[in-house]
Structure 1
Amino acid sequence: MFRRTKICSAAVMAVGGVLAVGPAFGQPQLERVEITGSSIRRIDAEAALPVQVIKKEDIARSGATSVTDLLQRLTYVQGSFVESAGVGGGAGGVTTVSLHNLGDTRTLVLLNGHRMAQFGGQTLTGFAAAMDLNALPLAAIERIEVLTDGASALYGADAIAGVINFITRRNTDEGDVSVGFSFPRGGAREKRVSATKGFGKLEQDGFNVLLSLSHDERTRLDSTERDFGNSAEVRFNHAGKSYRVQQVTAAAIPANAYHDNGTPADDSDDFLFNPYYVANGRCPDKTFLVSDFGDYCAFNFVGELEVYPARKRTSVLGSLNMKIGDHTPYVDVLYSESVQNSRIAPVPGVISIAAGSPLHNTYLLPNGVAGDSEAYYRIYDLGNRSYEDKATFVDFSTGSKGQLLGWDYNAFYAHSQSESVQNIAGLPGALAVARVANSGLLDPFVGPGQQSAAGVAALNSINYKGYWDGGISKLDSVGVRASAEVLTLPAGPMMLGTGVSFQRESFSSRPSLYAQGRLADPVAGTLCDPLATSGPTQCDQRFGDAAQSIPYSSSRNSYSAFGELIAPAAKGLEFITSLRFDRYDDFGKATTAKGGFRWQPNPQLMVRGSVGTGFRAPTLPQVNAPRQTYGVTFNDYTCGPELLAIAASLGATCRPGTSQYDVVAAGNTELKPEKSRQRSLGLRFEPGRDVTLGADLWYVRIKNNIGQLTEEEVFANPQLYANSWTTRTDTGTGNVYVAFLADNKNLGTDSLTGLDIDATARARLPFASLTSRFALTYMIREQRQLTPTGRKYSAIGGGDEALGVVTFRWLGSWANTFQHGRWAHTFTTNFRSGYLDATSTVEELDASGNPTGNYEDIRLPVKRHVTLDWQTQWNPRKDMVVSVGLLNVFNTKPPLSISSGGGNRGQQFGYDDRYYSSVGRTAYVNASYKF
């Protein structure tokens, strides 16, 4: 029955290294509480909406070391951005969460019920326009409430995917100290410490002060420590054949060179070659032979990656609560700082080689290159490109809760801001590199460490080290919410909740002068002349990765009001209705509504359901950012006839061979807001006091989906998307290349349907008590449009490659905890479905492993992934807990993936870093002491 038993207590169980949660059934409660998803404070927390509760003790049992780590173990979390996917220097160290693969920008993250500022490093495409989870200290969290049904009337119609509310500790005079260590093989090792202490008892002393401090550090993990992800050339077997696939970058050391075959006006017979390979019959170290657009040597950039960056995080939380009659004024302050250091392969780029120059006469003329040429070079002697990403987050909230004139109320003011700062090294200016090359001090055709002392000194003199880019996001909000019983009906009291709020949101992009392309000498900081086309005052940009960011600032105000009504219609049956009104000063008005029911015909069964609408305005950068460069494509592409015609029509050329292309992006003032419709139907069944079963069927439809066309789709159909192309001039060579225009658009309509299932059972065994918990999210259907009138795509199981992402058919976990005395042993199986990889061009190998020259396009099946975690928790005394465990006990490797592209992906190759961790088996120990 639906008793408030321990097994139903929030139906939450943290296990091994994976957390699985169920319905919010709680133990008997003596006070009204406000549960995420409703503004009405009530004793019976199990309502019409599916709210999952994760308690502090469950977090402690999970083995999770961060908020990000914890949330990624939930079966209904899919499509988030994780740290390893940021390898490449463009993510700012951010981590986010996405419910049901609906996107992190549609998942609202709250702290103690109020909104927080989006990440200060968000981009103009909408990437990272979400709450940075690194800012939240896990040690200070009392519980987490997850509303998996979207478009909340209370918190915002823009929470289309749902709401995650982090509730911090408060109103305790206890203290605790915790330490922990994690030990993966080869790197990514962690150490952490936290301390929390409360002073005063609210009821007796009239006040309570709580202070919490936490700090953690992680070492880097190099790709060379993992044999499944240390090479840009992967060999594998499939369907009885042997193949190799290469992630190609032509910029190498020693450099490859461009050969026009004596016909400068005709590109059809041009090719790349490597002078070192011609002279020695083999490619140099750190490269491999590529027979595409000629025979040249590609650099193994994957072997230079740090697949998990080093990181340090510190947070301080302070809370003051006072008791004044029926009122509880409060002040909460959170400050956190996260510093992440990541390094990738040395910078690649192109250097012009003039006919008749010493470099031309020594290396190119003997190989038949008569005219001007180019060297595709990687400046290894500068060291790896390094990125230091520092994110600072401040959140301040104050207000009062209590009862006034028969109403439960909460009046508040909150201010939060997120600032992102990125410092770089190993990325010189393109013109500066050209000047060193033209001076004769730089020889791109020699190997690592063979540059002259004067050449190394010249390179070091142009190596820019310092601030590159950043931004700051701010949010101020003020509001009041209240609820009360307004009418007594035959079946029970009718309850009303209402509230109003005001928000001011602002964002400022703060690129450096170097990032803006306004410096003639980046190292010296000398300003340039924007009109100069040559000479010492010409504006310089990054070598190999030109950027010309434009600073901008924008803000908006919004107002909202809502009402919510819970009306019991009969014994065990109640209806919930809510209405919300929002007004944006830049996107007008929106009225959204939600209705639901909760029916409990008997103590063993509860059925619930809801329907609603949502509204989400585009982010400030998505609307207001000026057009600017936005890095390069994830994939390498070969220029076909259609793209060649597009380039010619724009007065540009294609990149030679198989190459990455420049990306240009821009805000769009013509964007329309997203609008959603959602439905859910769920049930809870408790056939006995030791068994709980549950299922929630959900559906979400999003109209006017805001995003960009995927590069995979545009490059596959250049003429179909003729408006998605522009040009980009290479600063170092002056060549004009065709570039991908990834501007913001209203793409069309997305609709997803899924099922969340959970089951919990407990049994008393002769030697222990057993608690078993199963959780599964099953994606039933997905349809996404890239254009308003275009075809519908699905990424379930890999599905349509045009989407560039994967939606897993199912994600699940099964945990079993044996409790005896002061010991608890938990074994958790985590599993996710396989999928079809994106199509890749592979080369067949003969029986001896030699390339045959035969190429095939294949879609490799990516295997389902299963891991096992173990944890033992020991309570030697009431005030002490020691936990030891192994995550990924059998050191299961990520499944083989040979695709190289996809949205929000890092530079790793051989596995997909968006979905799988390279950390492997990890031993850990945590200990805490209460006082």
Structure 2
Amino acid sequence: MKLRMKSMHIAVLQVLATGAFSVGAAGSAMAQATPGAEAPQRVVVTGSLISRTDTETAAPVQVITAQEIQRSGKTSIAELLSDLASNGAGTLGTGFSGAFANGASGVSLRGLTVGSTLVLIDGHRMSPYAIGDDSQRSFVDVSNIPFDAIDSIEVLKSGASSLYGSDAVAGVVNIKLKKSFNGTRFSADSGTTEHGGGTTHRASLSTGFGDLDADGYNVFATAEWRRQGAIRIDDRKQFAWDDLDWSKRGGQNLTYGVPNARNSFLSPGSSPFLYNPSGAGGAQNAANFLFLDPTCNYTAYRAGGCAKEDTYGFIQPETENKNLLVGFTKKLPQDWEMSIKASVFQRDNLNNRGMPPAYSPTSFAGTNVNNNGALTPGFGAIPSTTFAPGAAVGSSLTNPFGNNARLYGYIPGLDGTSQQQNKATTTRLAVDFTGAAMGWDMQLAGGLTKSKVEVDYSGFVDRTALYSLLRSGQWNALGGNTQSLIDQVSPRFSNTLESKLNYVDVVGSRELMSQLGAGPLKLAVGAHWHKRTWDAPPSPLTLNGQVGSTSAFVFGEETNKAIFAELAATPINNVEFNLSSRYDKFDTNKSFTPAATLKWTPMKEVALRGTFARGFRSPNPAETGNSGSFFLYHGINDPILCANGQQYSAGNVPGACNIQPTYVQRPNKDLSPEKSKSYTLGAVLQPFKGLNATIDYYNIEVRNQIVTAAGNDPTYVETFVRGPAVPLDIATGVGNNVVVGTPSVGPILFAESAYINGGSTKTSGVETDIGYRWNLNENGVLRANLSYAHTISYEQTVAGVTYQLAGTQGPSVVSGATGSPKDRAQLSLGWTRGPLDINTTLNYTSSFSALDPSVGGTDCTTAAADIAGRNYFQNLSQPLQYCHVPSFTTTNLNVQYKVSPNLTLKGSILNVFDRQPPFDLSTYGNATTQTSYNASLHQAGAVGRFLSLGLAYTF
């Protein structure tokens, strides 16, 4: 299967060429009029404002029905959408616990980032998540939308700014919620992973009354609860991708507490210790170490016997969802209808970043560290872990050495690692009126939407307070400290961030002429208004410099006013033509975006189609308002303290080699919108009954992209702000020996980088959908659906140089270096017979290179360090096998059995064959540096085999 899947795109094209198959959206069909039959129902499909009987439009639209959602075996919409074949680089998954927007999930169609995919709810805008992806990109969090409230999901895979405005550059995901419900339905399921952790429970209750036709109204409510247990790093420690001892594979042993050349033989372990770097007889000997806990000594420490296991970091965060949707639909006089929906979707999740804080230097956002015991924050005071001879080192110890000594070890008594408890609450009140007036079909809508994130921080360290308590003798380095002292060292604090978006939409459509050529001429016109505010202050302790590594801050707002129109005509038989355009005015910019589509159906079995569209993405408040954040994006050597890149060359500071420098992101009020141009060419085929297929070629070019100046502006001068020159370990040039000395300059603190309009991205590919339904009469019905996406090219221009990134790790500056595999596919096979329904789904991701030339990652022997700053092979040659990320396929099985008209039982196995994720050393979009897999593409492998049972009962 693996070998066949690798060449899937070639095989599909060969089959298409023979005419045996064609490609299309699963479940879609061309409308065919039957004499005497009832007139088909007219619907509005995402990507058009004009209703139609044929749901297969000129633009490619993939429809996922509620039944298909239930058959997937998934328990969350985030998991479901992450498997979309068209979801590419920059997709944001919940497995990336270190992300700016941790806990949330976003869709990145065609790999153009979550900021270029517009997510709608019932065709209307929704407030973006209160925390931006990479502190910059606005996106709608799909992780807290309840399963049972969804009627269908429509994925428009073409640019749609001409109808929907900003952000619809790569396409649109329209999540349609239920419009009405009658009766009562209860469903529940529970499951767990085979290897431990991740136990998940879900329960849903839907109830409603009133028949729209008979009673003129319907009222319903859907409530859902879901709790997903955490999967910790130590739950998967038996697998190689979760093993820090890379010496087994020709690299460095990164296990916490194991000394080696990488960490200058100084690593916090199971016992805190004092180290005298200037002691007689050479620094690295037993006489210059004092271990505070008798469970460890110098001999055991040097042999790796004082290692400390990471029992804190998450592969999958602990999450709880509580969701409520209430709907009311009422028929009004003169065929008008009113629909009101109110919803509260809430997600609680806990995220952490691995090991607890240590007395020795720790690296986190906003801070750079050298391995000498002196922490150098980007802002605020500069405490040190160096203690003078005879000075107090906590309540039970003074420095017994004749020289300055350093304290290494994990800080006891803290609540584990630095962690964030996020409560994300999404609220929405939407009112829609539909009807007819003065010959127009009218849609009037308004809504109030808000995303609110309340963050409670714990486990962060006020290092000034810590060192003050150590030196005063009040703090015991071994633990047993009072809660009041712990609260001083690790204060708990909180923060509230909000994003609001209120909108008004007005759309009217009618026939202008009953006959123009071979059909009527139809017109739709509309207007849109929305106001968005983003109020995301920094936490109070971040603001005053007490702690680091918290969320970015944003203050700003935007107002958008737009008018738009669409014309639809059939100028000649079997030819449909649509022309649309939109004019948007924001506070700081304006855009005009036209589009045209064409569909020709020469015979009932075949239709050819194409689209052309202009698009744009307006700068958001994080880019133009009052905002700031820290970011890391590549690995470098300090140009002064490690000029030749050799850690132990004479005069180098070993801790200044292979670092990820911190950048301070600045906004730019003079930014212009990103602009795009896209087109698609495709075919819709129904060669025989039961088979529906589409194949579409797409080509998208995005110019004027809003990017940070660092690494993107050829005129940008990287000016690092440095701390004071303090005593550091300096290499002697003899082996790994070092001496303590004061270098010519201090360590790098940060460099500033503003947003600019610079660079471009151009991508093209082929996407296919095949749906086949075979009626076996008394033996049931077989179903087969294939969704497949092949990226032909993904070119990114950075600092005036164009790089081909299709099939590589790039663009690694986006959302954790998630990679750009050329091929993704989803194959679903189902069989239904009577009460039994069996569905199997295969999800495939092709292999790709672990290199990213756009950030200088062109050497297989140093790829992990160059791209992600990961030191698996620091000072060693990275084996060529890790320059290639293998393909990955998972198989899911879902079985449903209808025991009675009211009761349905189901069972699911996700990742049936327990496929483990392939190694990906160049990504940083996963839990911590301990795990070396790609959480965006291969998270199912890290979770492992997942088994669940459930039921649904209708009253």
Percent identity between matched residues is: 22
Give 3-state SS (helix, strand or coil) of 2:670's partner: coil
Give 3-state SS (helix, strand or coil) of 2:919's partner: coil
Q: Which amino acid aligns with 1:280?
A: Y
Q: Does 1:775 align with 2:787?
A: yes
How much has 1:126 moved relative to structure 2?
1.0
How much has 1:820 moved relative to structure 2?
1.9
Pair 1:507–1:84, CA change in 2 (3 A): closer
Contact 1:547 1:630 in 2 (8 A): no
Match of 2:410? 378
Q: Does 1:107 align with 2:117?
A: yes
Q: Which amino acid aligns with 1:104?
A: V
Shifted more, 418-427 versus 347-356: the winner is 347-356
Pair 1:914–1:251, CA change in 2 (3 A): farther
Q: Does 1:275 align with 2:318?
A: no
Q: CA-to-partner distance for each residue in 1:469-523, whole Å, 9 max, x for gaps?
A: 3311111111200111111223011111110111111111222321211xxxxxx
Match of 1:314? 322
How much has 1:174 moved relative to structure 2?
3.0
How much has 1:222 moved relative to structure 2?
1.2
Contact 1:315 1:336 in 2 (8 A): yes
Match of 1:922? 946
Q: CA-to-partner distance for each residue in 1:338-369, whole Å, 9 max, x for gaps?
A: 100233321244443132244689999888x8
Pair 1:276–1:40, CA change in 2 (3 A): farther
Q: Which amino acid aligns with 1:695?
A: I
Pair 1:799–1:84, CA change in 2 (3 A): closer
Pair 1:853–1:877, CA change in 2 (3 A): closer
How much has 1:458 moved relative to structure 2?
3.4
Give 3-state SS (helix, strand or coil) of 1:722's partner: coil
Counterparts of 2:316 and 2:904, CA distance in 1 = 30
How much has 1:654 moved relative to structure 2?
9.4
Counterparts of 1:730 and 1:151, CA distance in 2 = 54
Match of 1:541? 546
Contact 1:307 1:908 in 2 (8 A): no
Q: Does 1:581 align with 2:577?
A: no
Q: CA-to-partner distance for each residue in 1:131-158, whole Å, 9 max, x for gaps?
A: 0113311210011111011134222243
How much has 1:209 moved relative to structure 2?
1.0
Q: Does 1:177 align with 2:210?
A: no
Match of 2:807? 796
Q: Does 1:141 align with 2:145?
A: no
How much has 1:799 moved relative to structure 2?
6.0
How much has 1:824 moved relative to structure 2?
1.9
Contact 2:818 2:936 in 1 (8 A): no
Structure 2 unpaired stretches of 5+: 1-23, 33-38, 256-261, 362-374, 376-383, 646-651, 729-744, 852-859, 865-871
Give 2:755's match in structure 1, choosing from 736, 744, 750: 744
After superposition, where does 1:336-347 map in structure 2 within 5 Å? Answer: 336-343=345-352, 344-347=354-357
Structure 1 unpaired stretches of 5+: 1-19, 264-268, 289-296, 445-450, 518-539, 647-651, 844-850
Give 1:871's match in structure 2, choosing from 881, 894, 898: 894
Counterparts of 1:222 and 1:856, CA distance in 2 = 30
Contact 2:229 2:319 in 1 (8 A): yes
Match of 1:596? 597
Q: Which amino acid aligns with 1:139?
A: D
Shifted more, 302-311 versus 131-140: the winner is 302-311
Pair 1:643–1:203, CA change in 2 (3 A): farther
Normalising by the residue count of structure 2, what TM-score does the alignment of the two structures yield? 0.80
Give 3-state SS (helix, strand or coil) of 1:498's partner: strand
Match of 1:522? none
Q: Which amino acid aligns with 2:877?
A: E
Pair 1:597–1:154, CA change in 2 (3 A): same
Q: Does 1:616 align with 2:620?
A: no
Give 3-state SS (helix, strand or coil) of 1:438's partner: helix
Count of residue pairs the alignment pairs up: 836
Contact 1:564 1:579 in 2 (8 A): yes
Pair 1:573–1:642, CA change in 2 (3 A): farther
How much has 1:279 moved relative to structure 2?
5.5
Match of 1:163? 172
Give 3-state SS (helix, strand or coil) of 1:96's partner: coil
Counterparts of 1:134 and 1:329, CA distance in 2 = 29
Match of 2:428? 395
Contact 1:84 1:307 in 2 (8 A): no
Pair 1:840–1:398, CA change in 2 (3 A): farther
Contact 2:313 2:928 in 1 (8 A): no
Q: Does 1:477 align with 2:477?
A: no
How much has 1:755 moved relative to structure 2?
0.8
Give 1:219's match in structure 2, choosing from 214, 224, 229: 229
Counterparts of 2:98 and 2:272, CA distance in 1 = 22
Match of 1:639? 638
Give 3-state SS (helix, strand or coil) of 2:943's partner: coil
How much has 1:184 moved relative to structure 2?
0.9
Match of 1:13? none
Q: Which amino acid aligns with 1:110?
A: L
Counterparts of 2:175 and 2:637, CA distance in 1 = 47
Counterparts of 2:197 and 2:551, CA distance in 1 = 36
Pair 1:511–1:705, CA change in 2 (3 A): same
How much has 1:592 moved relative to structure 2?
0.8
Q: CA-to-partner distance for each residue in 1:875-920, whole Å, 9 max, x for gaps?
A: 1223332221211111110012233x54687555221222211211
How much has 1:691 moved relative to structure 2?
2.2
Contact 2:27 2:771 in 1 (8 A): no
Q: Which amino acid aligns with 2:490?
A: N
Pair 1:27–1:571, CA change in 2 (3 A): closer
Q: Does 1:885 align with 2:885?
A: no
How much has 1:88 moved relative to structure 2?
3.1
Counterparts of 1:912 and 1:236, CA distance in 2 = 21
Q: CA-to-partner distance for each residue in 1:770-797, whole Å, 9 max, x for gaps?
A: 222222110100101222x233341523
How much has 1:385 moved relative to structure 2?
2.5
Pair 1:262–1:783, CA change in 2 (3 A): farther
Q: CA-to-partner distance for each residue in 1:727-750, whole Å, 9 max, x for gaps?
A: 46899x997633244532323010
Pair 1:396–1:119, CA change in 2 (3 A): same
Match of 1:753? 764
Counterparts of 1:417 and 1:852, CA distance in 2 = 46
Q: Which amino acid aligns with 1:670?
A: D
Contact 1:353 1:359 in 2 (8 A): no
Q: Which amino acid aligns with 1:30?
A: P
After superposition, where does 1:462-861 map in structure 2 within 5 Å? Answer: 462-467=489-494, 469-487=495-513, 488-517=515-544, 540-542=545-547, 545=548, 553-587=555-589, 589-627=590-628, 629-630=629-630, 633=632, 638-641=637-640, 656=656, 659-708=659-708, 722-723=717-718, 725-727=720-722, 737-765=748-776, 767-787=779-799, 789-798=800-809, 804-838=817-851, 839=860, 841=862, 855-859=876-880, 860=882, 861=884
Counterparts of 2:554 and 2:782, CA distance in 1 = 58
Give 1:326's match in structure 2, choosing from 332, 335, 346: 335
Match of 1:527? none
Contact 1:655 1:737 in 2 (8 A): no
Q: Which amino acid aligns with 1:865?
A: F
Counterparts of 2:309 and 2:755, CA distance in 1 = 31
Match of 2:202? 192
Q: Does 1:36 align with 2:46?
A: yes
Counterparts of 1:572 and 1:272, CA distance in 2 = 86
Q: Which amino acid aligns with 1:919?
A: V
Q: CA-to-partner distance for each residue in 1:519-569, whole Å, 9 max, x for gaps?
A: xxxxxxxxxxxxxxxxxxxxx512xx46696x6532121110111111112
Give 3-state SS (helix, strand or coil) of 1:133's partner: coil
Counterparts of 2:874 and 2:675, CA distance in 1 = 51
Pair 1:581–1:639, CA change in 2 (3 A): same
How much has 1:692 moved relative to structure 2?
2.6
Q: Which amino acid aligns with 1:210?
A: F
After superposition, where does 1:9-20 map in structure 2 within 5 Å? Answer: none
Give 3-state SS (helix, strand or coil) of 1:684's partner: strand
How much has 1:821 moved relative to structure 2?
2.0
How much has 1:619 moved relative to structure 2?
1.4
After superposition, where does 1:205-244 map in structure 2 within 5 Å? Answer: 205-226=215-236, 227-228=238-239, 229-234=241-246, 242-244=250-252
Counterparts of 1:280 and 1:66, CA distance in 2 = 50
Q: Does 1:97 align with 2:111?
A: no
Counterparts of 1:842 and 1:334, CA distance in 2 = 46
